[in-house]
């Protein structure tokens, strides 16, 4: 059974089409990722699903409840962690948690088994004001607060933005743990490398969905050969490689540049061409594409 059903959902803010006929569904217990940059429409989608705003057209349901007509009941069953820091900075860690428990008419103890693995990490600081916590700890507290009423569906809008790589990785470990408890999760992130941690992902940009699949499935859609190339002067390499026939695209990618092979691409010929143009230490090898490569390709289409 699908916990979230989205059918041709659209929403515009003035001239800007924030969401343009988006459709997909999320199955029970799935960890579903919305991957895309700012302006992709991720936050708009979250606000529509959490019933904070109404769509211009299309429909969506959560746990079988319509987001427009049944919004009160949806609010009782979902947990939501908005993109911004959504805690009271002048209240302590403990006061925040107690307040959010009271908000849902429950007690911290009732959800302790669910919250404990996360909350225990910040419990030593329970008397500290939330505003004085670091990014990683705020995030853990916000997640604890979102779980306090044992929601069956959890919406997490860019929970890892602005957080360092270690805390981000820890956060995804916590989500993986929640998945074992059967909670359905919809998570958005601008970091492509986090897509691997999801069961399925939707790549989105400018209000549209570029593709939906498992991370492996998305990667398999990359229908060209991909090469990683490096040389002594990386900036010259970029400029020169782009002038070579058969290079469909060339862009920086970590310590190398990625080259998307067009028709009649010949790696050996490229090496020769680059050397002839004065580049030293030219190395080229074929690579398995990443989700980011797919995203770039789909964006250019």
Partner 1 sequence: MKETVISIRELTKRFGRFTAVDRISFDVYKGEIFGFLGANGAGKTTAMRMLCGLSFPTSGNGTVAGFDVMREGEMIKRHIGYMSQRFSLYDDLTVMENIRLFAGIYKLTPYRTRRRAVELLSRLNFLNERHTLVGALPLGWKQKLAFSIATLHRPEIVFLDEPTGGVDPITRRQFWELIYEEANRGTTVFVTTHYMDEAEYCARVSIMVDGEVRALDTPAALKRQFAANSMDEVFRTIARGAKRAE
Partner 2 sequence: MNTNIAHFIRKESLHILRDKRTLLIVLLQPAVMLLLFGFAISTEVNDVRVAAVAPHRTEGVTEAIDRVAHNPNFTFYGYIRQNEIDDVLRRGDVTAVVVFADDYDRAMIQAAQGQTVTPPIQIVVDASNTNIAGTASAYLQNILLGTASAQSLFETRLLYNPQMKSAYNFVPGIMGIIFILVCAMMTSVSIVREKEVGTMEVLLVSPVRPTKIILAKMIPYFAISCVTLAIILLISRFVLDIPMSGGIGGIVFVSLVYLALALALGLLISTFARTQIAAWMVSAVVMLMPMIMLSGMLFPIENLPLVLQPLTCAVPARWYISVMRKMMIEGLPLDAVLLELSVLCFMLLAVLGLAFKKFNDKLE
Residues that bind partner 2 (CB under 8 A): 47, 50-54, 72, 75-76, 78, 80, 82-91, 95, 98-100, 102-105, 145-146
CB of residue 112 to partner 2, shortest distance in Å: 18
Contact (Cβ atoms closer than 8 angstroms) between residue 185 and residue 31:
yes
The residues binding partner 1 (CB under 8 A) are 36-40, 124-125, 133-137, 161-167, 169, 190-193, 205, 234-235, 238, 251-255, 292, 295-296, 299-300
Q: Which does 133 bind (CB under 5 to 8 A by kind): partner 2, partner 1, none?
A: partner 1
Contact (Cβ atoms closer than 8 angstroms) between residue 274 and residue 231:
yes
Q: Which does 87 bind (CB under 5 to 8 A by kind): partner 1, partner 2, none?
A: partner 2
Q: How far apart are CA 120 and CA 177, in angstroms?
A: 14
Q: Which does 161 bind (CB under 5 to 8 A by kind): partner 1, partner 2, none?
A: partner 1
CB of residue 80 to partner 2, shortest distance in Å: 5
Burial 261-297 (b: 16+ CB within 10 A, else e): beeebebeebbebbeebebeebebeebebbbbbbbbb
- Evaluated on CA atoms 182, 168, 82, 14, the torsion sign reads negative
Q: Which CB, 55 or 215, lies closer to partner 2? A: 55
Q: Which does 152 bind (CB under 5 to 8 A by kind): partner 1, partner 2, none?
A: none
Q: Which CB, 101 or 282, lies closer to partner 2? A: 101
CB of residue 255 to partner 1, shortest distance in Å: 4
CB of residue 50 to partner 1, shortest distance in Å: 21
Tally of CB atoms within 10 A around 130: 24
- Which residue in 191, 186, 217, 155 sits closest to 36, CA to CA? 191
Element at 78 (helix H, strand E): strand 78-81
State how far Cα 124 lies from the chain centre: 30
Q: Which CB, 44 or 51, lies closer to partner 1? A: 44
Q: Which CB, 273 or 295, lies closer to partner 1? A: 295
CB of residue 171 to partner 1, shortest distance in Å: 12
Q: How far apart are CA 194 and CA 188, in angstroms?
A: 10
């Amino acid at each position: 059974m699908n916990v979230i059903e989205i059918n041709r959902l659209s929403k515009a803010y003035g001239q800007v089409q924030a969401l343009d006929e988006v459709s997909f569904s999320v199955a029970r217990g799935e960890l579903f990722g919305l991957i895309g940059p700012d302006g992709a429409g991720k936050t708009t989608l979250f606000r529509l699903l959490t019933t904070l705003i109404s769509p211009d057209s299309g429909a969506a349901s959560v746990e079988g409840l319509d987001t427009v007509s049944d919004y009160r009941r949806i609010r009782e069953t979902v947990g939501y962690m908005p993109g911004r820091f959504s805690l009271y900075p002048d209240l302590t860690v403990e006061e925040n948690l107690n307040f959010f428990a009271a908000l849902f008419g429950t007690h911290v103890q009732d959800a302790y088994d669910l919250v404990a693995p996360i909350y225990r990490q910040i419990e030593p600081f329970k008397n500290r004001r939330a505003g004085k916590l670091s990014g990683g700890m705020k995030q853990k507290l916000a997640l604890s607060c979102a779980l306090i009423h044992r929601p069956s569906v959890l919406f997490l809008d860019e929970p890892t933005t602005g957080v360092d790589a270690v805390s981000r990785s820890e956060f995804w470990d916590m989500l993986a743990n929640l998945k074992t408890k059967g909670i359905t999760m919809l998570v958005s992130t601008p970091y492509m490398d986090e897509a691997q941690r999801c069961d399925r992902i939707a790549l989105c940009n400018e209000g549209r969905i570029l593709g939906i699949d498992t991370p492996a499935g998305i990667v398999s859609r990359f229908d060209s050969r991909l090469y990683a190339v490096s040389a002594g002067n990386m900036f010259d390499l970029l400029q020169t490689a782009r002038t070579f026939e058969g290079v469909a695209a060339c862009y920086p990618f970590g310590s190398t540049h990625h080259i998307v092979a067009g028709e009649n691409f010949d790696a050996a010929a490229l090496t020769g061409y680059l050397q002839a143009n004065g580049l030293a230490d030219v190395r080229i090898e074929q690579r398995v594409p990443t989700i980011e490569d797919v995203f770039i390709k789909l964006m250019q289409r």
